[in-house]
């Protein structure tokens, strides 16, 4: 991909995807995505899905390729949850919207079950701070 940087050596999520750091173990991956546990789980199951390419945040996405990426991340995370006993009816899925991002590497949260989330976590993953994949796709399309 020319001179585009695909990996930042001091990024904790790049390091997890490259398996260079022990803070989280990759549970599932394909050519372009990696899935691992959130270190501060908001419920019984809490996965993060990231692109292996270093993209900063949902706010920086701006192309058709990025729309496809978001859709792939959603499918990958939802399929993984369903294969591991979860179901979509009690799932929370989405992205923290800047400035509420804790790690500057694009990551999708999949949380289950929502019904067992504490008040504090409900606040951390509430609207305005935490947006749906559709919100992100609409924001990308608005730039195209
Ligand atoms: Zn990164
Ligand atoms: Zn986040």
Chain segment 28-65, per-residue pLDDT in tens: 999 999 999 999 999 999 999 999 999 999 999 999 99
Identify whether 107 is a catalytic site residue: yes
Classify residue 77: in a domain, yes or no.
Answer: yes
Residue of 46, 96, 105, 107 with catalytic role: 107
Question: Residue 92: nearest ligand to its CA?
Answer: 2
Residue 25 to residues 9, 21, 138, Cα–Cα distance (Å): 17, 8, 32
Beta strand 108-112 with 92-96 is antiparallel
* Full residue range of the structural domain in which residue 87 is found: 12-141
Question: What pLDDT sits at residue 5?
Answer: 56
Q: How far apart are CA 122 and CA 36, in angstroms?
A: 21
Classify residue 83: in a domain, yes or no.
Answer: yes
How high does pLDDT run on average in the chain?
93
**CATH number for 80:** 3.30.428.10
Ligand 2 center–CA 91 separation, angstroms: 15
pTM > 0.85:
yes
Q: How far apart are CA 47 and CA 66, in angstroms?
A: 20
Ligand 2 center–CA 39 separation, angstroms: 11
Question: What pLDDT sits at residue 1?
Answer: 39
**Model pLDDT for residues 67-82, shown as the tens digit of each residue:** 999 999 999 999 999 9
Ligand 1 center–CA 50 separation, angstroms: 9
């Amino acid at each position: 991909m020319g001179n585009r940087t695909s990996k930042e050596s001091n990024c904790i999520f790049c390091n997890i995807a490259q398996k260079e750091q022990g803070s989280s173990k990759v549970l599932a991956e394909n050519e372009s995505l990696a899935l691992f546990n959130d270190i501060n789980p908001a419920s019984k199951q809490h996965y993060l899905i990231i692109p292996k390419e270093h993209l900063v945040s949902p706010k920086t996405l701006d192309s058709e390729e990025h729309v496809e990426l978001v859709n792939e991340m959603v499918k990958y995370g939802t399929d993984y949850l369903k294969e591991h006993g979860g179901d979509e009816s009690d799932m929370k899925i989405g992205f923290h919207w800047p400035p509420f991002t804790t790690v500057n590497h694009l990551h999708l949260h999949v949380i289950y079950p929502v019904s067992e989330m504490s008040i504090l976590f409900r606040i951390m993953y509430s609207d305005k701070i935490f947006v749906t994949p559709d919100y992100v796709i609409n924001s990308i399309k608005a730039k195209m």
